[in-house]
């Protein structure tokens, strides 16, 4: 294709796009004659968004979403055929149909039957179409939109150890697909571990020696949103380990009149008293002092005990 032909095709596309843009704006003028810049809501801001790119013939107009609204045109006191406010006469299903007529594919393919659909949410419950910047599409502002319903998660992210969501380095949608998922809790992957491994690939394995609770579910030990125990642990070591491991390394431990053989870190499931020998105290202080490869090891020797 020579240079002249390329210029001719580009010019033709521009002329066709300009014609489509002019026609689309003429259709919108039916609405924007009243809903102008002086309107109490920033209606015209939509022309600064992807929904307002009139050169693209796929871009919707006012009537594409709100309907022809003949009754509203004759009597402005009557609502348009389709409105998206929370107190709208239209159902959530009707609102969503208006959006999903274009936005059905991709991440929204699993919307039908999802938890958010089951709760009666509409797209407009989270998205602000007419705003220049939709808050839910930015990692910095997205969490505040989610927190309007998920208040427990807000508290968890304010704990000492947390995922970097408050810092704006992550958004809720990095782990969750709010439009539906084949995994639990609207996760972007099929399992908790698969979702965690998208960032923590060094924990993926496979390992020669696997730690059962790790390969089962990361949340067996970690609080996924935030914890007051670093790093996101549900409780401090060694108490966390003692949920499964109740006996350990000392030859004996005196508890009252009973001599318990082989149980240095716990007595009846509780931390050993501070008066025991230095050896016992050292062993009981942190399992990770020795078992540093707790997520799994490929060392054929000490790796069997998750040692380096």
Beta bridge partners of 47: none
The domain limits of the chain are 34-132
pLDDT at 150 over 70: yes
Summarised one tens digit per residue, pLDDT across range 63-81 is 999 999 999 999 988 999 9
Instruction: Identify which of 79-88, 144-153, 284-293 has the greatest average pLDDT.
Output: 144-153
Mean per-residue pLDDT, 169-182? 95
Segment 249-307, tens digit of pLDDT: 544 444 433 334 444 445 454 555 555 555 555 555 678 888 899 999 999 988 888 88
Contact 166, 143 (CB under 8 A): yes
Q: pLDDT tens across 179-221, in order?
A: 999 999 999 999 999 999 999 999 998 999 999 999 999 999 9
What is the pLDDT, as a whole number, of residue 27? 82
Which of 178, 192, 172, 174 shows the shortest CA–CA distance to 118?
178
- With bands split at pLDDT 50, 70 and 90, how would you rate the model's confidence at 52? confident
Q: In the prediction, which pLDDT does 252 show?
A: 45
């Amino acid at each position: 294709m020579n240079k002249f032909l390329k210029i001719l095709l580009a010019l033709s596309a521009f002329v066709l796009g300009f014609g489509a843009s002019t026609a689309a704006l003429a259709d919108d003028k039916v609405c924007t004659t009243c809903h102008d810049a002086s309107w109490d809501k920033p209606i015209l801001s939509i022309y600064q968004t992807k929904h307002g790119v009139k050169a693209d013939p796929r871009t919707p107009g006012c009537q594409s979403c709100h309907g022809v609204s003949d009754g509203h045109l004759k009597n402005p006191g009557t609502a348009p055929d389709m409105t998206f406010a929370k107190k709208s006469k239209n159902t959530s299903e009707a609102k969503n149909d208006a959006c999903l007529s274009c936005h059905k594919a991709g991440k929204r393919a699993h919307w039908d039957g999802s938890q958010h659909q089951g709760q009666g949410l509409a797209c407009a419950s989270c998205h602000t179409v007419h705003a220049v910047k939709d808050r839910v599409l930015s990692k910095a502002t997205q969490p505040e939109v989610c927190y309007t319903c998920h208040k427990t998660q807000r508290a968890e992210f304010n704990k000492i150890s947390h995922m970097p969501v408050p810092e704006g380095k992550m958004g809720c949608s990095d782990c969750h697909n709010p439009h539906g998922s084949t995994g639990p809790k609207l996760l972007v992957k099929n399992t908790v571990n698969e979702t965690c491994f998208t960032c923590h690939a060094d924990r993926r394995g496979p390992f020669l020696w696997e730690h059962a609770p790790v390969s089962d579910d990361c949340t067996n030990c970690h609080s996924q949103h935030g914890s007051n125990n670093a790093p996101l642990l549900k409780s401090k070591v060694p108490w966390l380990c003692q949920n499964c491991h109740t006996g350990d390394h000392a030859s004996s431990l005196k508890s009252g009149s009973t001599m318990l053989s082989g149980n240095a870190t716990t007595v009846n499931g509780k931390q050993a008293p501070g008066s025991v020998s230095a050896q016992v105290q050292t062993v009981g202080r942190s399992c990770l002092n020795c078992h540093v490869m707790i997520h799994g090891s490929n060392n054929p020797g000490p790796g069997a005990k998750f040692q380096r």
